[in-house]
Structure 1
Amino acid sequence: MELKKRIAKNTIIQIIGKGLSTLLGIASLAIMARYLGASGFGEYSTVITFVSFFAMSADLGLTLISAQIISNPNENQEKALSNLFSLRLFTALILLGLAPITVLFFPYDQVIKLGVLISTLIFLFPALNQILIALFQKKLEMEKVMLSEVISKTFLVIFIFIFAKINQGLTGMLWASVLSGIIGFIILWLYSQKSVKIKLEFDLIFWKKIIKRTWPLALTIILNLIYLKGDILILSLFKSNEEVGIYGASYRAIEVIGTIPYMFAGIMLPIFTANWLKGENKFLEKIIQKSFDFMIILALPLAVGTQFIATKIMMMIAGQDFGSGGPALQILIISTAMLFVSCIFSHIIIAINKQKKVIGLYAITAALSLVLYLFLIPRFSYIGAAMVTIFSNALILLGTYYYVKKFTSFQAKFVVLKKSILSSLGMALFMFLVPKSLYANNIFILLIILLAGLIYFSLLYMLKGISKEDIKTFMPKKI
């Protein structure tokens, strides 16, 4: 099977799987938000954000580098995966173990401190999953990952529903996530063992080699945490649980969408790496351009369309109490659109092993974002927090593009971008002309979204932003 069709197959599988996973994620958010209310969901958001600082610090860049390492033909795949898995387990246990100790020094209620203790398990199993996923990324067998994710999310919805029914409160919602995470890990582990016998290995020489290679990534991840997660943490220290909950629900809705670019970039990373190592720069530039165009095509209509329905979307998903999160969602979706594109560029930087070069970019972004959070959040609450995300993501987008252009000679062509903008404007005109009374009905809103998407892609096709060849690539007759 030729590379293009294999990529197409995996992309289709991931789109379908991610679509199902997104629906299940929305369902879990809907049940949880309605059950906990704005204040309770604020506590939940604080807990998850707090622990995520430790979980992401424990990553050490292994999530991004694992697929690259095992794609190297000179590496022993079984040994590499076993050591990567063991290293990830070791760092996760150490750093996640610090979370429930550190939270004792914060002025949070007891329920949040208990929640942090439980949530260390929420992050442990997905952390181990990331090493296993690298194997399936390399083999272009992401259907196994998607199956695991869909089953795990299905159980998450079931557990959340059950614990809400028997009124288990915040801790019940957290245990639901722990149990579903364990199920997802077991499925991936069993699949991986059919290909490679992964076991605990402690080759300290290999670990040292990996850490020497990943420390720039580890540092950039920690810096990323400040501008990506600092908003909710600072908000929780200055504002009420209700305000944290409203912003947290908007952020959670965005995070569901935000997995799309990482999913696609994860597929492309081994391909970027292989072509760079082979010196096939012209083909690499072509792949980068195609990836850039694909992200633009997806991101622009999301950013534009959400401006018309943000408040309704928040009320549909999380309930009437969260309607005031609409303005935050309108802002956050713009920063997420930027993330779609910058995600591709940041993965290319990893593929060409230039992580050290971008540390300064992430340090400056983190420092400026922290200052802006501390200045704007006390004055403008979650609207100020959301505005900072636009600034930080714009800075990362421009910076990562600059470095990709510098090191690969890639020069982005904006033909598809221009056509996507025109198509988005046509879609926006349709959504503007729709009678406001129709937006009051949830069924009509879903119909409007479908029609808006149809108009966007029809206009894009007529403007030759996408071609029959592109459609055939992602819808091959035989894959």
Structure 2
Amino acid sequence: MVYYAGTHMSTTRKIAHNTAIQIGGKAISTLLGLAAIGMMTRYLGTEQFGWYVAAISFLQFIGIIIDFGLIPVTAQMMSEPAFDKKILFQNLLGFRFISAIIFLGIAPLLILLFPYPIEVKMAVAIMTISFLGIAMNQVFTGFYQYTLKMHIQALGEVLGRAVLVGGLWLLIAQRASFLSVMMLVTISTLVYTAYMWFASARFEKSQFRFDWPVYKAIFHKSWPIAISIIFNVIYLKGDIILLSLFRDLSEVGIYGAAYRVIDILTQTAMLLMGLMLPLLTYAWSRSNTALFKKRYQQSFDAMMMFGIPVTVGTAVLAKPIMSFVAGPDFASAAPALAILALAVGAVYFGGVYGHLAVAINKQKSTMWIYISGALLTLVGYLIFIPRFGMLGAAWMSVFSEVYAGVLLTLVVRRHLQSHLSLLTFSKICISAMVMGLLLTILPPWPVLLTVCIGAGVYAALLLITGAISKQTLRDVLARSE
């Protein structure tokens, strides 16, 4: 039986409390993730970290292909009345397990065709198991989004990251091999998956079910997203794959370190929209125009409130961030990080309309965007990566995200009856610009202090300008309505 948040709590507070828990968990897991990156880069060095980046990017390439958009699909289908929730959840688990086993099973064989060192090929074989866990996590994450129980996902992620950081400390102390580190990465992911799996038993029995009518419905929902994602993967991971073929793995390691920072920064975008998707779907599927407009505005404002300052702050502080996170050997990644920061803003913006397309069942209408964007970006990669290396890859990544974000906005807004108010957005932009100017004139203080000052100033400006209203704060913080 699925348990839902109490009806006495307003939806705004449910979202806010759930978001607060997730942000708290994400903050801890982000710090642990940054610590893990810092430990790995300093211990492995640019070349061996390049091995790791090449191996994990190869698996992510395959993993994204089999994604099928199951996080938003799970949240969406669980919000609709078509199927019994228990039967649907168990079929989603079975669907994900079968598809992951089939596609991930070929990864250790496919990597043999690439001109990588033997250590990279062995790392792929080891970490394939971890990507099976990541694939299963998608269904659990969608389930917890639907039930507004994302604190479970947040705790599981923190637990997995803690195992990774603690294990790295032990391995570094013992001067362990590169492949031992890869085994630890796999173990930490499986710990995360195991916690999510066992915790779900309190709400629904986590077992595989194979009902063909339900599978057909899942496939019907997911195939447009799957096609889009297959092309999406070309510009999401194609840069690192091609960079590893045209340049040495040390440059791949440097670029990969910058990209790992970007990956962490963009996770919040998916977290926020993942929370809003079931609410958007609920309002749209029941033709509640007023409620849908409210959720749409909330989604846009929340994404911009996080995305714009992250973009500005990362671009301004790129060099101290890379030196702090990865060590002085990776300071040369700063130009790439500053460029990729622009892509972060586009990810947050495009994330709103990408999830809206799912909520209003217009996935098919957006497929051409991902297909054309992938083809254009692939051409750009082939032109600019051989000539400009990681900087060419970074600029093409920015192009791909901006291209997708702009076109998604144009297409999705054609189907909406709601129009956004840009008043809060303008206040966010002003606050972020003032924060950015302050960061440029601050002395070269420790980066954590600088980030805290910037965040504090930005938060204060949001309150001063009224981007966050006192009424919203009262609703979020109140113990009762």
With normalisation by structure 2, the TM-score equals: 0.95
Corresponding residue SS for 1:408: coil
Q: Map of 1:314-393 to 2, 5 A cutoff? A: 314-393=322-401
Structure 1 residue aligned with 2:237, among 229, 241, 245?
Answer: 229
Q: Which amino acid aligns with 2:68?
A: L
The answer to whether structure 1 residue 163 and structure 2 residue 164 are counterparts is no
Question: What is the deviation of 1:64?
Answer: 1.9
Mean Cα deviation higher: 44-53 or 172-181? 172-181
Mean Cα deviation higher: 336-345 or 235-244? 336-345
Q: Do 2:243 and 2:389's aligned partners in 1 also have CA atoms closer than 8 Å?
A: yes
The answer to whether structure 1 residue 19 and structure 2 residue 27 are counterparts is yes
Q: 1:410 to 1:138 in 2, by over 3 A?
A: same
The answer to whether structure 1 residue 219 and structure 2 residue 221 are counterparts is no
Partner of 2:5: none
The answer to whether structure 1 residue 417 and structure 2 residue 419 are counterparts is no
> How far apart are the structure 1 equivalents of 2:281 and 2:101?
30
> How far apart are the structure 1 equivalents of 2:476 and 2:325?
30
The answer to whether structure 1 residue 141 and structure 2 residue 143 are counterparts is no
> How far apart are the structure 2 equivalents of 1:240 and 1:478?
59
The answer to whether structure 1 residue 448 and structure 2 residue 450 are counterparts is yes
> How far apart are the structure 2 equivalents of 1:143 and 1:213?
27
Instruction: Describe the superposition over 1:26-57 as per-residue Cα deviations: whole angstroms up to 9, x where unpaired.
Output: 01101111111111111101100101111122
Q: Do 1:273 and 1:351's aligned partners in 2 also have CA atoms closer than 8 Å?
A: yes
> How far apart are the structure 2 equivalents of 1:467 and 1:57?
42
Partner of 1:475: 477
Q: Map of 1:427-438 to 2, 5 A cutoff? A: 427-435=435-443
Mean Cα deviation higher: 177-186 or 31-40? 177-186
> How far apart are the structure 1 equivalents of 2:148 and 2:92?
19
Question: What is the deviation of 1:140?
Answer: 0.7
Partner of 1:396: 404
> How far apart are the structure 2 equivalents of 1:246 and 1:100?
25
Superposition RMSD in Å: 1.5
Corresponding residue SS for 2:298: helix
Instruction: Describe the superposition over 1:98-155 as per-residue Cα deviations: whole angstroms up to 9, x where unpaired.
Output: 1111111111111111111111112111211221222221111111111111111101
Question: What is the deviation of 1:170?
Answer: 2.4
Q: 1:362 to 1:386 in 2, by over 3 A?
A: same
The answer to whether structure 1 residue 193 and structure 2 residue 193 are counterparts is no
Q: Do 2:80 and 2:285's aligned partners in 1 also have CA atoms closer than 8 Å?
A: no
Q: 1:478 to 1:17 in 2, by over 3 A?
A: farther
Corresponding residue SS for 1:186: helix
The answer to whether structure 1 residue 63 and structure 2 residue 71 are counterparts is yes
Mean Cα deviation higher: 454-463 or 370-379? 454-463
> How far apart are the structure 2 equivalents of 1:207 and 1:425?
48
> How far apart are the structure 2 equivalents of 1:241 and 1:385?
15
Corresponding residue SS for 1:175: helix
Q: 1:359 to 1:454 in 2, by over 3 A?
A: same
Partner of 2:465: 463
Corresponding residue SS for 2:62: helix
> How far apart are the structure 2 equivalents of 1:239 and 1:191?
44
The answer to whether structure 1 residue 82 and structure 2 residue 90 are counterparts is yes
Q: Do 2:269 and 2:307's aligned partners in 1 also have CA atoms closer than 8 Å?
A: no
Q: Do 2:32 and 2:161's aligned partners in 1 also have CA atoms closer than 8 Å?
A: yes
The answer to whether structure 1 residue 10 and structure 2 residue 18 are counterparts is yes
Q: 1:411 to 1:206 in 2, by over 3 A?
A: same
Mean Cα deviation higher: 233-242 or 142-151? 142-151
Q: Do 1:12 and 1:474's aligned partners in 2 also have CA atoms closer than 8 Å?
A: no
Partner of 1:95: 103
Structure 2 residue aligned with 1:39, among 17, 29, 47?
Answer: 47
Question: What is the deviation of 1:478?
Answer: 5.1
Q: Do 2:265 and 2:310's aligned partners in 1 also have CA atoms closer than 8 Å?
A: no
Corresponding residue SS for 2:201: helix
Q: Which amino acid aligns with 1:190?
A: F
> How far apart are the structure 2 equivalents of 1:404 and 1:311?
37
Question: What is the deviation of 1:60?
Answer: 2.0
Instruction: Describe the superposition over 1:40-87 as per-residue Cα deviations: whole angstroms up to 9, x where unpaired.
Output: 111101100101111122222222201111222331111111111011
Structure 2 residue aligned with 1:266, among 274, 281, 289?
Answer: 274
> How far apart are the structure 1 equivalents of 2:115 and 2:49?
18
> How far apart are the structure 2 equivalents of 1:61 and 1:36?
33
Q: Which amino acid aligns with 1:200?
A: F
Q: Do 2:70 and 2:142's aligned partners in 1 also have CA atoms closer than 8 Å?
A: no
Instruction: Describe the superposition over 1:235-288 as per-residue Cα deviations: whole angstroms up to 9, x where unpaired.
Output: 000001110000000000111111101011111111011000110122212211
Question: What is the deviation of 1:473?
Answer: 4.0
> How far apart are the structure 1 equivalents of 2:239 and 2:89?
35
> How far apart are the structure 2 equivalents of 1:300 and 1:459?
14
Corresponding residue SS for 1:195: coil
> How far apart are the structure 2 equivalents of 1:237 and 1:209?
40
Q: Do 2:432 and 2:458's aligned partners in 1 also have CA atoms closer than 8 Å?
A: yes
Question: What is the deviation of 1:348?
Answer: 1.0
Instruction: Describe the superposition over 1:345-395 as per-residue Cα deviations: whole angstroms up to 9, x where unpaired.
Output: 111110111111111011110000000011111111111111011111111
Residue ranges of structure 2 left out of the alignment (5+ in a row)? 1-8
Identity of aligned residues (%): 35
> How far apart are the structure 2 equivalents of 1:195 and 1:424?
41
Partner of 2:3: none
Mean Cα deviation higher: 209-218 or 312-321? 209-218
